[in-house]
Amino acid sequence: MDNVGIVVDDLDAAVAFFTELGMELEGRMPIEGRWAGNVVGLRDMRSEIAMMRIPGGVPGRLELATYHAPRAIVPDPEVTPANTRGLHRVMFAVDDIEDTLARLRPHGAELVGEVTRFEDSYLLCYLRGPSGIILALAEQLS
């Protein structure tokens, strides 16, 4: 897999959020023109993307995109529950789940449920990030 794409309302806020999570900005650029619209099936498409990577040469990237034209469609309801069809969530392994949550809260992160222990293996939680994206965090205990 090369990357996972996520559409966001505020690209700067999303980049700041994922940077705080520990990802690095690989690059940022406008994407527009006939070729781009043909790929995604949107006429007169103009967007901007930011490619975020996991540091240390670990494979895995997020492509954050904001659409200037046509404007992104906001689902109804705007904040969808975890069982909504489509991309469910992206999970990140973290060293300290409470520290990570504390660092992400100033960037708008909100727990969906609660931090829960799975046996003696993991602490897990779901949280909402920029534009209502659901993320999961996992801290391995043993």
pLDDT for res 1: 75
- List residues bridging with 118 in a β-sheet: 122
pLDDT for res 60: 85
pLDDT for res 11: 96
Q: Where are the domains of the chain?
A: 4-69, 90-140
Low-confidence ranges of the chain (pLDDT < 70): 88
> Which CATH number applies to 90-140: 1.20.140.10, 3.10.180.10, 3.30.470.10, 3.40.50.2300?
3.10.180.10
- List residues bridging with 111 in a β-sheet: 127
CB atoms within 10 A of CB 47: 21
Domain boundaries 4-69, CATH class: alpha beta
pTM: 0.89
110-120 pLDDT, tens digit per residue, is 999 999 999 99
Vertex 45 angle, CA 39 and 49, to 5°: 80
How far from 96 is each of 13, 75, 80, 116, 131, CA to CA, in Å? 23, 32, 27, 13, 24
Rounded distance between C-alpha atoms, residue 62 and residue 19, angstroms: 11
From start to end of the chain, where are the E strands?
Answer: 4-7, 24-32, 46-53, 61-69, 90-93, 110-111, 116-118, 122-128, 134-140
